[in-house]
Amino acid sequence: MRIDPAAWPFAAAFAAAALLAAWWSPWLAVVPLALLLFTINFFRDPERRVPSDATLVLAPACGRIIRADASRVSIFMNVFDVHVCRSPVAGRVASVEHVAGKFLAAFRDDASDHNERVVLVVQPARGAAVRVVLVAGLVARRIVCRVAPGRELSAGDRIGIIRFGSRVDVDLPPGAAPTVAIGDRAVSGETALARIPAASI
């Protein structure tokens, strides 16, 4: 399985700590080894089977749906979810904006307005733009965005990663109908969050 490159500084540090601890006693290496395994699991980046239906708005992140209405779908990620984020639609990156802010618990609705975040706008070839907000949380203090304005994306392409547990908001285009409900589980790049009327594409 692919591991996101952001893992390697953490993995190297924990591996070195485990080797140093094992030199004194094998039992001392248990904690850094556990942290090493956690790190590798956290930064896993599995391949996805991305639907080819252009009317779908796909989940940009794995996790639990905590909001689902005609204007926005929000996904909360815990530390055991895959944290590599993906584009919900195909299109050109119209803008990327970093907004400084607080680090409130990410499941709170006001976290979207007050927390540190990166706002991406993806403009499909036809139809309205889709706004994706990567939101930092209480523990997640680092958003790594790997796309820039002008980049052409396919639906399901990787756009970045959030460390360590947070939320992602998707602002739906007018007329989109949510296909998920609060409490559902989403898989990045595979789960359809909403459907856009074919006439709008």
74, 87, 112, 166: which one is catalytic? 166
CB 130 within 8 A of CB 88: yes
CB 187 within 8 A of CB 48: yes
Nearest-Å Rg of the Cα atoms of the chain is 18
Q: How many helices (H) and strands (E) does the chain have?
A: 3, 14
- Active-site residue flag, 166: yes
Structure-derived torsion over alpha carbons of residues 72, 195, 128, 63, reported in degrees to the nearest 10: 40
Catalytic residue IDs: 166
